[in-house]
C-alpha cells in the first residue's frame, strides 16, 4: 500500500531543488542519480519542481533548450554570473544553471583538479551558489520564483538554509538532505569573512566545527527539516559511530529528522529497454542475461564460460566501500573458480593493489580503473553476483540496480543496504522473500562467508533462478519515496510561519498524477511514464 500523505495536498507545491550534481549533467556518485530521478518522480506527483545546478562545462553543453534569462547581481566579489534556463535532458523538468565561468567553467572535476587536489576556492564556489539560490528563492534578481519549498542537498548547499533563515521577510520552508555524513564541506575558519555569513555564526551553536567552517553543519542546524536517504541511516547518524562528529547536532533536531529511502530511475535502469545492453531481458524471460554475461566476459578478457560464477563490483574503491576487504578476499574467491570484474576508482593504494592482483589472477580477475556508464550497466546485467559491501552506507544504489537486473547483491547490514536487501537465510528462502546475501562483519572472513553462501546457491540453478525472480520483482522505483517527500514538504510549509509563496489549486490532471503508479503492473507503469506530461 502507498504511504498516506499526512496532510491534504489540495494545492500545487512549488519546489526549488538545489544540488551540486544531476545526471547526466554532472556526476561523481549517487547524488547525481538521485538529483535526476527524484525531481522527475516529484513532477509525476503533481509537484512544480525546478532544479538549480552550477553551470559546469558539461552541464552547459547538455542542457535542453538553454536560454539566458538573467544577468545575476554581483555577489561575494563574483560579477560574471548569468542564469541559464532550460530542461533536464530527456525530461520535461525545468532546470536553472548558475553560469559563472570564473567559478564553475574549468577543466578538471567538479570539486578537484586533474591531480585530485580540491579546488582552493571551493568554499567561495559553493557559498556563491547558495547565495544565488537564496536570491532566487526570495524572488530577487528580477526572477519571479518564490517557491514553497527549497530542497537543498549535501554540504555544497548547506549555507542555503542558513541564508534563508536570516531573512525577516516571508521565505520558503527548507529541507536539507544529507546523502553522506562523511562529506562535510569543512574549511578554515578564516573563510567566514569571504562567504557572506556573519561572524556571529562562527561558534559551536552555529556553523563552527572544531575551528572550521562547516557547510554541512549549517544545513543541519538551520534547515526546517533534515532528511537522510534511508531509515536505518537516520538512526545510525544519531550515534558517535556513524554521526561523523555531528551526532549531537542531529540529536538536537529531534523529530525534525527523517529517513526517506532512495529509489532508482527505473526508466534508465531497466534491463527490458536498456540501450547499453547487447540483448534485453525482463522478469519472466532471462535469456538475454546469458548474452550479457558472455559480452561482459569477452570485453573484460575473461574466458566465456556460462557455468563460471561471475562476480561484479562497480564502486568507489575506498575503505568506506570495503574495497580493501574485497582485495583481502580475492585469493579465496578466485580459488573457488569464480571470475571477478571490478570497475571504479578511489584510493590510489587500492587501485595499485588491484592492478597487481589482475596480473596475478589473469583470466579470473579484470579491473577497470575509472567509471564508464555503459560498463556499469553491462556489469549489472552480465554479473551473477554483485559485491556491494560497506562499512557504512547511507543508502546505496548499486544493490538496487543489481536486483532490478537479476544480479544478486552481497551487502553488509548497515544503512540503506540493511533496508533494501533481504538475506537469503533458511527462513527467507522458505517464504520466498530473499533478494540477496547480508553479513555483519567488516572483515575478509565475514565477506568470504557471504560469498560462499552465494556460490553454494549459484550451483543450484532452480533455487538461484527463484532468487533472481524475487529480486527483480521488487519495486525500488521513486514513486513511494517521492510521495513521502511530498508529505514532508506539506508539513514543512504548513508549520512555517513565514511561508508566503503563492500557490494555485491542483489541476484535475495533477491530482490524478499524485501517487500515479502504486499498485500498477510494470506495463501500466511504463505507459504512465511515457504519457505523463510535467506541469510547470
pTM: 0.87
Q: In CATH terms, are 14-263+478-507 and 287-472 the same topology?
A: yes
H-type helices in 1-29, by residue range? none
First to last CA, the chain: 29
Alpha carbon distance 217, 52 (integer Å): 21
Q: What is the mean pLDDT of residues 330-356?
A: 97
Alpha carbon distance 399, 313 (integer Å): 10
The pLDDT > 70 percentage for the chain reads 90
Give me the CATH code for the 287-472 domain, please: 3.40.50.2000
Domain ranges, ordered by start, for the chain: 14-263+478-507, 287-472
Alpha carbon distance 302, 305 (integer Å): 9
> In DSSP terms, which residues pair with 418 in a beta bridge?
none
Task: State whether residue 468 is helix, strand or coil.
Answer: helix
What DSSP state is assigned to residue 110? S
Read off the pLDDT band of 292 (50, 70, 90): very high
Query: What's residue 496's pLDDT?
Result: 72
Alpha carbon distance 448, 444 (integer Å): 6
Alpha carbon distance 69, 84 (integer Å): 6
Task: State whether residue 118 is helix, strand or coil.
Answer: strand
CB 254 within 8 A of CB 220: no
Alpha carbon distance 517, 236 (integer Å): 31
CATH class of this structure's domain 14-263+478-507? alpha beta
Q: Which tens digit of pLDDT belongs to each residue from 156-211?
A: 999 999 999 999 888 999 999 999 999 999 999 999 999 999 999 999 999 999 99
Query: What's residue 288's pLDDT?
Result: 98
Alpha carbon distance 262, 416 (integer Å): 8
Helix H or strand E segment including 87: strand 82-87
Q: Is 391 exposed, middle or buried (0-12, 13-18, 19+ CB in 10 A)?
A: middle
Amino acid at each position: 500500500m502507498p504511504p498516506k500523505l499526512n496532510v491534504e495536498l489540495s494545492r500545487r507545491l512549488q519546489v526549488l531543488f538545489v544540488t551540486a550534481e544531476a545526471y547526466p549533467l554532472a556526476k561523481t556518485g549517487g547524488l547525481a542519480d538521485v538529483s535526476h530521478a527524484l525531481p522527475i518522480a516529484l513532477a509525476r506527483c503533481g509537484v512544480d519542481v525546478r532544479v538549480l545546478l552550477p553551470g559546469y562545462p558539461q552541464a552547459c553543453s547538455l542542457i535542453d533548450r538553454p536560454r539566458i534569462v538573467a544577468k545575476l547581481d554581483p555577489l561575494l566579489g563574483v560579477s560574471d554570473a548569468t542564469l541559464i534556463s532550460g530542461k533536464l535532458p530527456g525530461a520535461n523538468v525545468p532546470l536553472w544553471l548558475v553560469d559563472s565561468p570564473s567559478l564553475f567553467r574549468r577543466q578538471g572535476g567538479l570539486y578537484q583538479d586533474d591531480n585530485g587536489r580540491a579546488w582552493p576556492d571551493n568554499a567561495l564556489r559553493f557559498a556563491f551558489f547558495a547565495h544565488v539560490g537564496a536570491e532566487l528563492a526570495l524572488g530577487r534578481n528580477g526572477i519571479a520564483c518564490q517557491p514553497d519549498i527549497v530542497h537543498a542537498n549535501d554540504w555544497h548547499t548547506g549555507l542555503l538554509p542558513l541564508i534563508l533563515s536570516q531573512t525577516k521577510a516571508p521565505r520558503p520552508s527548507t529541507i536539507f538532505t544529507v546523502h553522506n555524513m562523511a562529506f562535510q564541506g569543512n574549511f578554515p575558519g578564516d573563510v567566514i569573512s569571504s562567504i557572506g555569513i556573519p561572524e556571529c555564526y562562527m561558534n559551536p551553536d552555529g556553523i563552527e566545527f572544531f575551528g572550521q567552517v562547516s557547510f554541512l553543519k549549517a544545513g543541519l542546524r538551520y534547515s526546517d527539516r533534515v532528511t537522510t536517504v534511508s531509515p536505518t541511516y537516520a538512526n545510525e547518524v544519531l550515534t558517535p559511530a556513524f554521526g561523523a562528529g555531528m551526532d549531537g547536532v542531529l540529536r538536537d533536531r529531534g523529530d525534525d529528522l527523517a529517513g526517506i529511502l532512495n529509489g532508482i530511475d527505473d526508466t534508465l535502469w531497466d534491463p527490458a529497454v536498456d540501450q547499453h545492453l547487447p540483448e534485453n531481458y525482463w522478469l519472466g524471460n532471462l535469456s538475454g542475461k546469458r548474452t550479457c554475461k558472455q559480452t561482459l566476459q569477452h570485453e573484460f578478457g575473461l574466458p566465456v564460460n556460462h557455468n563460471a560464477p561471475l562476480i561484479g563490483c562497480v564502486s568507489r574503491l575506498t575503505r568506506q566501500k570495503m574495497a580493501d576487504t574485497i582485495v583481502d578476499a580475492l585469493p579465496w574467491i578466485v580459488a573457488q573458480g569464480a571470475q571477478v570484474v571490478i570497475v571504479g576508482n578511489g584510493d590510489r593504494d587500492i587501485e595499485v593493489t588491484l592492478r597487481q592482483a589482475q596480473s596475478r589472477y589473469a583470466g579470473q580477475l579484470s579491473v577497470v580503473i575509472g567509471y564508464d556508464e555503459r560498463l556499469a550497466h553491462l556489469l549489472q546485467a552480465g554479473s551473477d553476483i554483485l559485491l556491494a559491501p560497506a562499512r557504512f552506507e547511507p543508502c546505496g544504489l548499486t544493490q538496487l540496480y543489481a536486483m532490478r537486473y537479476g544480479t544478486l547483491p552481497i551487502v553488509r547490514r548497515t544503512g540503506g543496504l540493511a533496508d533494501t536487501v533481504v538475506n537469503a537465510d533458511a527462513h527467507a528462502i522458505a517464504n520466498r522473500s530473499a533478494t540477496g546475501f547480508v553479513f555483519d562483519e567488516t572483515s575478509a572472513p565475514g565477506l568470504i562467508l557471504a560469498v560462499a553462501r552465494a556460490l553454494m546457491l549459484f550451483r543450484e540453478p532452480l533455487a538461484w533462478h527463484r532468487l533472481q525472480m524475487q529480486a527483480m520483482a521488487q519495486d525500488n522505483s521513486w514513486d513511494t519515496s517521492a510521495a513521502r517527500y511530498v508529505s514532508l514538504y506539506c508539513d514543512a510549509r504548513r508549520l512555517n510561519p513565514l511561508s508566503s509563496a503563492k500557490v494555485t489549486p491542483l489541476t484535475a490532471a495533477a491530482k490524478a498524477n499524485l501517487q500515479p503508479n502504486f499498485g500498477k503492473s510494470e506495463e501500466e507503469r511504463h505507459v504512465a511514464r511515457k504519457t505523463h506530461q510535467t506541469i510547470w
